[in-house]
Amino acid sequence: MTNTHTQLSCLGQPLDLSPSAFGELRRSGDIAGNGDALRERMQEDGYLFLPGLLDREDVMAVRRDVTERLSDLGALDPGRPKLDAGYAPSGNLKSSHDLARDNLHLQRLLFTGKMMEHYRRLLGGPVRHFDYTWFRAVGPGHGTFPHCDIVYMGRGTFRLFTSWTPIGDVPVSLGGLMILEGSHRQQDRLAAYLAKDVDTYCTNRPDAEEIESGRKVWQDWDGRLSSNPVSLREKLGGRWLTTDFQAGDVLCFSMGLVHASLDNHTDRIRLSSDSRYQLASEPCDGRWIGENPVGHGLAGKKGKLC
């Protein structure tokens, strides 16, 4: 991993880079073709880092498409090659989720071929994916707060997995994903958090009408486990793990694994996607299914008395 002697941070907070607090992801490329070994490793680690699972050229085809779209939005520095994804401060990154819409290269990458073959091996049966794809175009600045995915998509099976896929090379300085080692084994300590649903709201609260009218997305909580990745690691133990990702790598992990992203210390945009997979036979969270998934919109809200 490069840049190990420079300061890395998350949410603006410098990380402890000592060997007891920070390290490299364990590689699972050597067992990528063995379903039993993949399941055993997933149970042990809570994640699978699969270097080169996807064809690099297929990933770069997605990057070419996405950087063209970003250029059209004025989000790229016009003085640099588009594939560099140089950041233009005056550009528009607010619509980055739309970069996945009608993107045939991205759909083929995530929902056919080697990615689906991987999940059939891991899950041992027919697989379905969420129809919604989370696409990230992250400029310089703070990364993502520590969280577990289940609080955003827990209305179906818990046997749901995320693929974090870098769309291009993502060195640590660009703000790649990091996972908290062993956090998937902390379900007893995190039980209250893991049982939450970010789209559930209290109907007897004064701001309930704002939720029901769509003026407010969430009621005081956005799904974060912590705003302090340093103290969280000290509390739960383990190390923050990451690596210098290459185009073609995939990081696959479970719903109860704590993860976050590093801050982007470069003048470039970090491009990546999050996609989700489960056995087709198990219940699915309806917020993320269909031609136009409701997601965190009004149709996905659930009111309750608190």
- The residue-averaged pLDDT of 219-232 equals 95
Residue 44 within any structural domain of the chain: yes
Q: What pLDDT digit, counting tens, does each position of 268-294 carry?
A: 999 999 999 999 999 999 999 999 999
List the structure tokens of 52.
Answer: 């080169």
10-19 residue pLDDT tens: 999 999 999 9
Let me know if residue 78 belongs to a domain: yes
Tokens matching residue 119: 């999940």
Q: Is the pTM of this model over 0.75?
A: yes
pLDDT the model gives residue 110: 98
Residue 4 lies in a domain: no
Amino acid identity of residue 89, one-letter, is P
Q: In this predicted model, which residue has the larger pLDDT, 156 or 73?
A: 156
Predicted confidence at residue 98, as pLDDT, reads: 84
The domain that holds 97 is classified in CATH as 2.60.120.620
Looking at residue 95, its pLDDT comes to: 64
**For 2-16, 154-168, 191-205, 221-235, which range has the lowest pLDDT when averaged over its residues?**
2-16
128 falls within a domain? yes
Residue 108 corresponds to which tokens in the numbers above?
Answer: 């083929």
Query: Does pLDDT of 141 surpass 50?
Result: yes
CA 114 to mean position of chain CA atoms: 19
Domain encompassing residue 283 = 9-304
Structural domain includes residue 1 = no
130 in Cβ contact with 288 (< 8 Å) = yes
90 within domain boundaries: yes
**Number of independent structural domains in the chain:** 1
| Inside any domain, residue 238 | yes
CB atoms within 10 A of CB 14: 11
Answer whether residue 91 shows pLDDT above 90. no
Look at residue 5 and tell me whether its pLDDT is greater than 60: no
The reported pLDDT for the residue numbered 261 is 98
The answer to whether the CB of 245 falls within 8 A of the CB of 166 is yes
Phi, psi of 258 (to 5 degrees): -75, 130
2 part of a folded domain: no
